[in-house]
Amino acid sequence: MKKIMTVAAIVLAVSCGQNKPQKALVLYYSQNGATKAVAEAIASAIDADIEAVEAVKPYDGDFAATIARCQEEMAAGVLPEIEPIKADLSAYDVVFIGYPVWFGTMAPPVAKLVETLDLACKKVVPFCTFGSGGLDSSVKDLTAKLPNAEILPGYGVRAARIDAMPAEVDNFLKQEGYIPGEFVKPGPFGEEHEVSDEESAIFDAAVAGYPMINAKASLVASRPVPEGVEYLFTAQPLPREDANPNAPAPGVIKVYVLVAEGQAPVFTQVLR
Name the stretches of the chain with pLDDT < 70: 1-21, 241-250
Instruction: Report the distance separating Cα 133 and Cα 103, nearest Å.
Output: 10
Instruction: Report the distance separating Cα 97 and Cα 54, nearest Å.
Output: 13
* CB of 252 closer than 8 Å to CB of 235: yes
Q: What is the pLDDT of residue 251?
A: 86
Q: What is the pLDDT of residue 157?
A: 98
Q: What is the pLDDT of residue 16?
A: 58
Half-sphere exposure of 236 (CA within 13 A, CB side): 7
Q: What is the pLDDT of residue 212?
A: 87
List the strands of the sheet with 266-271, edge to edge: 193-194, 215-225, 228-237, 253-260, 266-271
Q: What is the pLDDT of residue 3?
A: 37
Instruction: Report the distance separating Cα 97 and Cα 106, nearest Å.
Output: 10
Q: What is the pLDDT of residue 19?
A: 42
Q: What is the pLDDT of residue 14?
A: 33
pTM strictly above 0.85: yes
Q: What is the pLDDT of residue 63?
A: 84
Enumerate the domain spans of the chain: 18-175, 193-271
**CATH number given to 18-175:** 3.40.50.360
